[in-house]
Amino acid sequence: MIIPCIDILDGKVVQLVQGREKVLEGDAPLAMLAKFSAFPEIQVIDLDAAMGRGENNSLVELLASWAKCRVGGGVRTADRARKLIEQGAHRVIVGTAAFTPAIEEIAAAVGPQRILIALDSKYGKIVVKGWQEATEFTAEEVIGRLEPFCKGFLCTYVDKEGMMQGTDLEWFRRLRAATSHEITAAGGITTIEDIRALKAMNIDAALGMAIYTGRLDLADLKDE
């Protein structure tokens, strides 16, 4: 499955490089949603909430009311996860909180089947708090023990996020071997060949920069 991404910063649809530098803005949120209407699921990330500097709840709720959305950004408490589900999110994406005791409360509040855990890797280590802090462990080390709390994993290769330089297919192979849960790949996915290689591993692809810049054509992607 191909999952287009809508990342929201200061009320606008944006694309960042490695979660820091804004390099482009997309159309208005509902206009982007219309462009992605052929795809079964959309990924919506509230970057302000992820960075702890505000939120875009009204926009998130609007998008979730119009499409099947997996929503992330600042999901660090059971109340936040529950609120997103109430706003219409199909699933919530949990990053930083997955590495704290809060993950047990979040899973109890909304059910593991409604949770995707974000495993974001930079220089080989998991990064948290909007990719601003590094931990001491790898995704391969933690993926197995996190299985009880989620339906799947959103695994981002941050080293190449937004850089249009390809992704690390070997890393995704290692993750695929480490869990039977569903995996969505993100970060640097640039070509149809990347998507097909991931599909062959039974891994979904979350796409951002490659479709916003036109490197990948939406019409072609609908057939993948």
Active-site position among 46, 48, 120, 204: 120
Nearest one of 34, 20, 35, 26 to 7, comparing CA atoms: 26
**Residues 6 or more apart whose Cβ sits within 8 Å of residue 169:** 194, 197, 198
Q: Please confirm, yes or no, whether 7 is among the known catalytic residues.
A: yes
Question: Are 152 and 181 spatial neighbours (Cβ–Cβ below 8 Å)?
Answer: yes
Fill in the amino acid letter for 172: F
To the query of whether residue 159 is one of the catalytic residues in this protein, the response is no
Strand, helix or coil for residue 69: strand
Set 7, 46, 48, 204: catalytic member: 7
Residue 12: which of 22, 1, 2 has the closest Cα? 22
Q: Is-contact 199 168, C-beta < 8 A?
A: no
Query: In whole angstroms, what is the distance from residue 106 CA to residue 126 CA?
Result: 20
Residues recognised as catalytic: 7, 120
